[in-house]
Amino acid sequence: MAGNTGTYLIQGASILGGEPADLLIRDGIIAETGNGLSADGATVIDAAGLVALPGMVDVHTHLREPGREDAETVETGTRAAALGGYTAVHAMANSTPVADTAGVVEQVYSLGRTAGWVDVRPVGAVTVGLAGEQLAELGAMADSRARVRMFSDDGICVHDPVLMRRALEYVKAFDGVVAQHAQEPRLTAGAQMNEGEVSAVLGLTGWPAVAEESIIARDVLLAQHVGSRLHVCHVSTAGSVEIIRWAKERGINVTAEVTPHHLLLTDDLVRSYDPVYKVNPPLRTDADVQALRAGLADGTIDVVGTDHAPHPSEHKECEWAQAAMGMTGLETALSVVQHTMIETGLMGWADFARVTSTAAARIGRLEDQGRPLEAGEPANVILVDPAARWTVDPFRMATMGRNSPFKGRELPGKVVATFFKGHPTVLDGELNTPFPHAASAGAA
Amino acid sequence: MKHLLSTQDLSRSNAIRILDTAEEMAAVGDREVKKLPALRGRTVVNLFFEDSTRTRISFEAAAKRLSADVINFAAKGSSVSKGESLKDTAQTLSAMGADAVVIRHWASGAPHRLAATDWIDAGVINAGDGTHEHPTQALLDAFTMRRHWSRLAGTGSEGADLSGMRVAIAGDVLHSRVARSNVWLLRTLGADVTLVAPPTLLPIGVEKWPCKVSYNLDETLEGGVDAVMMLRVQGERMNASFFPTTREYSRRWGFDDTRLRSLDKLGMKDTIIMHPGPMNRGLEISAAAADSPRSTVLDQVRNGVSVRMAALYLLLSGDTREPAATPALAYAGTHSTKETN
């Protein structure tokens, strides 16, 4: 761990929503916890009323760089992440060029380190060019400086069952995981929104739940057969939750993720034809939303992943069918999860820490993230004001994407401070400074 | 009425007001000089992102009979391939001073986008969007049915609705904007609607619609119908496994000669056969049915101009009152006789 990041004494923070305690952060680690701590020269932060949580880890972020720097860059995306309470993000592979070689993943990793706002862990493509035909050099990416452990063709399903089987088998060699975007392509040709009552009225081509569920069912059986590790991206239907619950009961090594938008929004919003609500997988029904919340609460779904997908405005200011799929999410995830899971009584803050940090770090094999808030642990810590309420304004966000589906909504919870490896990247709810890498040359 | 985007949100009173206004417009069409000065100095743009000569000339005739200036903008193909976005096109038309935009678009919801955004301030009429809606088609269908239904009842059609009328709509409901607009409007006007289609050509979720659904055209006919509307089968459906062959489709869901004869056998002498055009003769409708006295195909075309005149007039006359009589129109009508002579 890096040294020389200063000393911060956080006083009276509610640890994971429990009893208040002090946290002393010094030289990148939590040096001490307890009550009535003091330290000479420490910057004191009064955290009365704030909740201390492990820095959030996003398993699913689109940073767009390299290639689409008009949509987002590693710099702007990771600023957004820090403001949203993240200390690590997994950068999805669908950049241009695709992150399917050691060279590209190392580039993204370096850009992340230079930016210094969060750990950027590149996700490697499963297949060359996301084309679904030939395995990318997964081993080379795993062995690179980026130490890739998660592989995904996200945005495109690895639909060929043999290729999926081989990928699952192959990543066992370096403890990798295949993160599947579950979407049967033939059942979703030209799909525009959830298939159901609303699509029938709107005349938009449907994306049926079965197109997701059939792939998940196949993949959990493949994972069982070859004894490998499967992660299911952005689960969106009640049926998917049931299949994953069944698979976990059978001991299959599967993890699953849900996005904040699927925990709150339904396809009823599509009636406006406003493409800000266009996303893949699509917004589903209220019954799906309730099943996803229940699945996240009972552990069937392991983590919240944002699927943060910034787009330039011209890709959303158009006809629905022409618009790009995707929504921003890094700066609203905490608030949406608080709103949908904590304020509904389904979860406490300790559960929040599990689904936004601990479990996510375990899936991505990030040793220094998602750790307990205890002495000797890396100081990836956030302070949250759960009583704050704010109205979402996409034009005041750090992400370049203005495509937030929560625009205009009042949401609870605000990130007051983010400590990344002991350094405050966010203080008083505002962006502070990036991690001073110069002081940590040579650190991993 | 600021826009006409859908029949789903059209109230009964507004629907009847449009139909009643269309009756007055039809009277103009019967005169030697078929022109009113009602929209003189107003500009109507026909913005067509998809070829549809019939609908375009129907709107063009309607606008011209109301003395509006008409601009035809054929933005054929996709706006992306053309290199200009819908937003830029709309802003361009706005800058040119369009008062109303009649938009036909291959993408469902495109007219809603024009109406909901600040790209353009003009009134928007949906002239068919993707597989969503085609409200003026449904209005002209309802107009045609109402005349028929009122004549059978021996009453005038003004102010009347379609209470008790049994309407079967048969064919590719899944991809049909005509079917959607008709289901909402006919239900609002009190008709009983039955959709008849192969299960593959009905949308998931159709069970929530305010109509009956049948897979069997013969049973539906035997149950009694006052109007049968046949929907066009698009060529691109024929090789996508929606049905095995066009012959099988025709036998099970087409209005063929046998079914035409069965209407007589069943004693349904007043049942009309409708089609929004263009027809695939021999596929969803036989030539004998299309050309029979029961067929209202050409009436529908004729009535289309009257209904579109009514829609343009109500949108652009600035009259936002809830229905009453339409004295403004009567006034415009009397004026016109003087001015156009």
Report domain extents, chain A. Answer: 7-52+376-436, 55-364
Between chains, do B205 and A195 touch, taking CB under 8 Å as contact? yes
A18-44 as b/e, with b when 16 or more CB fall inside 10 Å?
Answer: eebbbbbbbbbbbbbbeeebebeebee
Chain B nearest C-alpha distance from A395 (Å):
18
Q: HSE (CB half, 13 Å, CA atoms) of A326?
A: 22
* Beta-sheet pairing, A410-420 with A206-207: unpaired
Between chains, do B204 and A200 touch, taking CB under 8 Å as contact? yes
Between chains, do B113 and A318 touch, taking CB under 8 Å as contact? yes
Q: Contacts of residue B110 in chain A, CB cutoff 8 Å?
A: 273, 319-320
Chain B nearest C-alpha distance from A198 (Å):
8
Per residue in A34-72, pLDDT (tens digit) is 999 999 999 999 999 999 999 999 999 999 999 999 999
Q: Percent helix, strand, coil in chain B (nearest 5)?
A: 45, 15, 40
Per residue in A193-213, pLDDT (tens digit) is 999 999 999 999 999 999 999
Chain A nearest C-alpha distance from B110 (Å):
5
Cα separations (Å) of B43 from B28, B39, B168, B331, B333?
21, 8, 38, 21, 20
Q: Contacts of residue A208 in chain B, CB cutoff 8 Å?
A: 204
Between chains, do A200 and B203 touch, taking CB under 8 Å as contact? yes
CATH T-level fold of A55-364 = TIM Barrel (3.20.20)
Within its chain, how far is the Cα of A242 from the centroid? 22
Closest by Cα among B219, B217, B302, B312 to B26: B302
Whether B134 has its CB under 8 Å from any CB of chain A: the answer is no
Topology agreement, domain A7-52+376-436 and domain A55-364: no
Q: Contacts of residue A317 in chain B, CB cutoff 8 Å?
A: 85, 87, 117
**CA angle, residues A98, A99, A105, in degrees to nearest 5:** 150
Asked whether B121 and B100 are in contact (CB, 8 A), the reply is: no
Q: Contacts of residue A319 in chain B, CB cutoff 8 Å?
A: 79, 86, 105, 107, 109-110, 113
Whether B3 has its CB under 8 Å from any CB of chain A: the answer is no
Between chains, do A321 and B112 touch, taking CB under 8 Å as contact? no
Per residue in A119-155, pLDDT (tens digit) is 999 999 999 999 999 999 999 999 999 999 999 999 9
Residue pLDDT tens, chain B, 341 long? 899 999 999 999 999 999 999 999 999 878 888 899 999 999 999 999 988 889 999 999 999 999 999 999 887 654 445 567 899 999 999 999 999 999 999 999 999 999 999 999 999 999 999 999 999 999 999 999 999 999 999 999 999 999 999 999 999 999 999 999 999 999 999 999 999 999 999 999 999 999 999 999 999 999 999 999 999 998 777 778 899 999 999 999 999 999 999 999 999 999 999 999 999 999 999 999 999 999 999 999 999 999 999 999 999 986 544 444 444 444 343 333 333 33
Interface of A with B (CB under 8 A): 192, 195-206, 208, 272-274, 314, 317-322
pLDDT of B82: 54
CB within 8 A of A287, min separation 6: which ones? A238
> Can you tell me whether residue A198 is helix, strand or coil?
helix
Per residue in A428-444, pLDDT (tens digit) is 999 999 999 744 444 44
Per residue in A182-196, pLDDT (tens digit) is 999 999 999 999 999
Between chains, do A273 and B113 touch, taking CB under 8 Å as contact? yes
Per residue in A351-392, pLDDT (tens digit) is 999 999 999 999 999 999 999 999 999 999 999 999 999 999
Pick B107's closest partner by Cβ from A198, A201, A319. Answer: A319
Between chains, do A197 and B109 touch, taking CB under 8 Å as contact? no
Between chains, do B209 and A320 touch, taking CB under 8 Å as contact? no
pLDDT of B338: 32
Band (A297; pLDDT cuts 50, 70, 90): very high
CB contacts under 8 A, B 185-214 vs A, are: 203-206, 208-209
Residue type for position B181: S
Q: Contacts of residue B113 in chain A, CB cutoff 8 Å?
A: 273-274, 318-320
CATH T-level fold of A7-52+376-436 = Urease, subunit C; domain 1 (2.30.40)
Overall residue count recorded for chain B in this entry: 341
The residues of A carrying an active-site annotation are 307
Pick A203's closest partner by Cβ from B85, B108, B116. Answer: B108
pLDDT of A127: 98
Q: Which residue of A has its CA nearest to B177?
A: A203
Where do runs of H (alpha helix) occur along A131-196?
A: 138-143, 161-170
Q: Which residue of B has its CA nearest to A321?
A: B107
pLDDT of B238: 76
**CA angle, residues A433, A438, A440, in degrees to nearest 5:** 100
Q: Which residue of A has its CA nearest to B180?
A: A201
Look at residue A218 and tell me whether its pLDDT is greater than 60.
yes
ipTM greater than cut 0.95: no
Asked whether A98 and A70 are in contact (CB, 8 A), the reply is: no
Closest by Cα among B4, B91, B100 to B44: B100
What average pLDDT does the structure give for chain A? 96
